[in-house]
Amino acid sequence: MRGSIRVSAIHSAAAVAVGRRPGTIVEFLRRARRSPPFVIGAALFLGVLLMAALAPVIGVQDPIAINIRERLEPPTMRHLFGTDDFGRDVFSRVVWGSQLAVRLGTLSVLVAVSGGIVLGLVAGYYGGWVDQLISRIFDLIFAFPYLLFAIAIVAILGPSLDNLVVALGVFGWAGFGRVIRGSVLSARQREYVEAARAVGARASRIMARHVLPNVAAPVIILSATRFGGALLAGSGLSFIGLGVPIPQPEWGAIMATGRDYMGTAWWVTVFPGALIAVAVLGVNLLGDGLRDLLDPRLRDA
């Protein structure tokens, strides 16, 4: 019962996104299969998700335990990606790091989307001074360069995964909020929204039933981009010591431990960075593919 509700929810969300009646998810997948960016992106992204899910099986060596006798060993069959300055297996650390990456990306996008939906809906639906106020907040967030904003928040709260999520998520409010506000403004003019208001539907019902489904496509596309952006910003900040603290196997933090040994032990910096590139490439391709599929007007944009 619960499963069928969920399936039907996915069903109708996809149907709305594709702009066709329910029951055409098969049709969506058939079109998606022919989009190379979507297929390659989905494969890479699923690979990262699988790695995160199977970390206990793949990364069998302890990602944190110190083993000084095997420090800075080059890649071998025993240590596929070599070892770092504390003798930790870089491969295991990279595998476990995928869990942190997925958590960082998912949570920061969730924070961004939920805040953006609330602020964007309220601003777009009520208009007037409420809209003015919220739009000025967006302006203010955008007045700071992206990473500078995140760095400022981390400087206040201190470096940790949760604070990174807050910093990257709050910045995302402005991006999602503006997109949603714009969609609401145009949806508000439509006859069916006016009709719903005329028959006495409450504001919350109108938003949930008639306005929100219209913003599904741009929100899904932006989510993919922001996921990749969060991975890049998060690992970059961890690399300079303003993100996830070092003993944790965050990809940027692993690279930071290899910085002093770049000349002799390149594997500590090169492999985690390559994983970041693959994961971000996956979501970026997925985003491109979804944009082509969900919003034909934006094709080639």
Partner 1 sequence: MFRYVLRRLLLAVPVLLGVSICVFLMASLVPGDPATVLAGDTASAEQVERIRRDLGLDQPIPVQYLRFLERLAHGSLGESTRTHREVLLEIADRFPYTLALALGAVVVSTILGIAMGIFAAVRRGRAADYLTMGIAIVGLSVPTFWIALLGIIVFSLNLHWLPVTGARSPQSYILPIFALSLHSTAVKARITRSSMLDVLGQDYLRTARAKGLRERVVLLRHALKNALIPISTIIGLQFGSLLGGAFIIETIFGWPGIGRLAVQAIFNRDFPLIQGTALVGAVTYMLANLAVDIVYAWLDPRIRYS
| Residue ranges in contact with partner 1 by CB under 8 A | 37, 136, 139-140, 143-149, 151-152, 154-158, 228, 232, 235-237, 239-242, 252, 255, 259, 262-263, 266, 269-270, 273-274, 276-277, 280-281, 284-285, 288, 300-301
210 φ/ψ angles, rounded to the nearest 5 degrees: -115, -30
For partner 1, the closer of residues 236 and 247 by Cβ is 236
- Which string of DSSP letters, residue by residue, matches 241-301? TSSS-TTS--HHHHHHHHGGGTTT-THHHHHHHHHHHHHHHHHHHHHHHHHHHH-GGGTT-
Torsion, Cα of 263, 265, 268, 271 (10° steps)? 80
For partner 1, the closer of residues 91 and 138 by Cβ is 138
For partner 1, the closer of residues 136 and 205 by Cβ is 136
CA separation for the pair 106, 268 (Å, rounded): 26
Least separation in angstroms between CB 276 and partner 1: 5
For partner 1, the closer of residues 212 and 229 by Cβ is 229
For partner 1, the closer of residues 63 and 273 by Cβ is 273
Least separation in angstroms between CB 83 and partner 1: 18
For partner 1, the closer of residues 120 and 287 by Cβ is 287
Least separation in angstroms between CB 236 and partner 1: 5
196: exposed, middle or buried (Cβ count in 10 Å: 0-12, 13-18, 19+)? middle
CA separation for the pair 151, 164 (Å, rounded): 9
- Which string of DSSP letters, residue by residue, matches 187-207? HHTSHHHHHHHHTT--HHHHI
Least separation in angstroms between CB 300 and partner 1: 5
Q: Are 79 and 89 in contact (CB under 8 A)?
A: yes
Q: What is the CA radius of gyration of the chain?
A: 22
- Quick one: which of 134, 145, 141, 112 has its CA closest to 182? 134
Answer positive or negative: Cα dihedral of 7, 9, 10, 11: positive
CA separation for the pair 150, 174 (Å, rounded): 13
For partner 1, the closer of residues 94 and 211 by Cβ is 94
